[in-house]
């Protein structure tokens, strides 16, 4: 029987207690991971996540924007499962409620809060992972969650410009770090979904005009919103040894978003 792609590996999923992160954690364990630590802000969600994932999982509760959060999760992974091989950073979210939006309407609070949530948290978790990989002298893998909105905008329906800036910055940051640490066998890549069903996408998923738009903007598989498990195979690959020669890359798992025009529904007069 062939060895599973993540056999024996210990992974940390920052933002892994719900949505894309929780789905990935399940996939990592199914792919042979020895242990997975999921992190999140809500203790109840963390408890439910580990209950569903089973004994090869552990949860670390806290805020990804706290500089101590990722180091704490990595320490838990090493203590509980005896190692640390890969980090998947999923945590982030829309800054709409904070004051993000079209450029002319962005508030000061929306600017700072959205960048902290979606960019600063990534830099903090990646710093913690790379420092641990260097201390171990083992190499390792990092996968950051981007978004097609970082380079393929949707002005009609998704005009949160600080969010888009943060997701674009994740690509530049990841590529720069990938180049710097390649000689230490530390790989960093980006996974960039389009619209996926998650707690963050409830507004879009309830909007009939957006749903009609998605049928032509994400035309694969009949034209639909993505599911969290659509991204799992790519995440497993990029964090496994099968991707040992892959670094500094951006993989869009987008149902065709970036190669489709998308027809905006016309309102009846």
Q: Rounded distance, CA 225 to CA 26, Å?
A: 21
HSE-up of 118 (CA within 13 Å, CB side)? 30
Burial-class residue 202 by CB neighbours within 10 Å (0-12, 13-18, 19+).
exposed
Which pLDDT does position 200 carry in this prediction?
67
Q: Does position 239 have pLDDT exceeding 60, yes or no? A: yes
Q: Rounded distance, CA 257 to CA 58, Å?
A: 35
Is the separation of the CB atoms in 246 and 240 below 8 Å? Answer: no
Q: Rounded distance, CA 117 to CA 224, Å?
A: 27
Instruction: Please tell me whether the overall predicted TM-score, pTM, comes out greater than 0.85 for this model.
Output: yes
In this prediction, residues 113-128 reach a mean pLDDT of 98
Q: Does position 106 have pLDDT exceeding 80, yes or no? A: yes
Q: Residue 65 — φ and ψ, nearest 5°?
A: -85, -5
Q: Residue 266 — φ and ψ, nearest 5°?
A: -90, 130
Q: Taking Cα atoms as reference points, which of 80, 59, 79 lies closest to residue 69? A: 59
The per-residue pLDDT for range 194-217, each reduced to its tens digit, is 999 877 667 877 888 999 999 999
Which pLDDT does position 1 carry in this prediction?
53
Domain boundaries, the chain: 10-255
**Would you name the residues annotated as active-site residues?**
163
Q: Does position 267 have pLDDT exceeding 80, yes or no? A: no
Is the separation of the CB atoms in 183 and 169 below 8 Å? Answer: no
Q: What is the CA radius of gyration of the chain?
A: 18
CATH fold of 10-255: Rossmann fold (3.40.50)
């Amino acid at each position: 029987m062939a060895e599973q792609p993540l056999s024996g590996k210990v992974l940390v999923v920052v933002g892994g207690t719900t949505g894309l992160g929780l789905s990935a954690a399940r996939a990592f364990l199914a792919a042979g991971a020895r242990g997975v630590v999921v992190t999140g802000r809500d203790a109840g969600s963390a408890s439910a996540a580990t209950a569903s994932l089973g004994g090869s999982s552990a949860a670390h509760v806290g805020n990804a924007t706290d500089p101590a959060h990722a180091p704490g999760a990595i320490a838990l992974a090493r203590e509980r499962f005896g190692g640390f091989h890969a980090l998947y950073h999923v945590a982030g979210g829309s800054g709409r409620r904070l004051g993000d939006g079209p450029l002319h309407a962005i508030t000061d609070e929306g600017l700072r809060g959205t960048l902290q949530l979606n960019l600063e948290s990534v830099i903090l978790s990646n710093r913690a992972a790379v420092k641990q990989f260097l201390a171990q002298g083992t190499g390792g893998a990092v996968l950051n969650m981007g978004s097609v909105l970082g380079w393929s905008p949707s002005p009609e329906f998704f005009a949160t410009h600080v969010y888009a800036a943060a997701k674009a910055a994740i690509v530049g940051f990841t590529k720069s770090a990938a180049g710097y640490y390649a000689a230490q066998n530390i790989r960093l890549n980006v996974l960039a979904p389009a619209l996926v069903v998650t707690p963050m996408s409830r507004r879009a998923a309830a909007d009939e005009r957006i749903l009609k738009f998605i049928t032509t903007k994400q035309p694969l598989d009949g034209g639909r919103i993505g599911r969290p498990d659509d991204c799992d195979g790519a995440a497993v690959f990029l964090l496994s040894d099968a991707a040992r020669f892959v670094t500094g890359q951006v993989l869009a798992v987008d149902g065709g978003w970036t190669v489709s025009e998308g027809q905006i529904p016309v309102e009846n007069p």
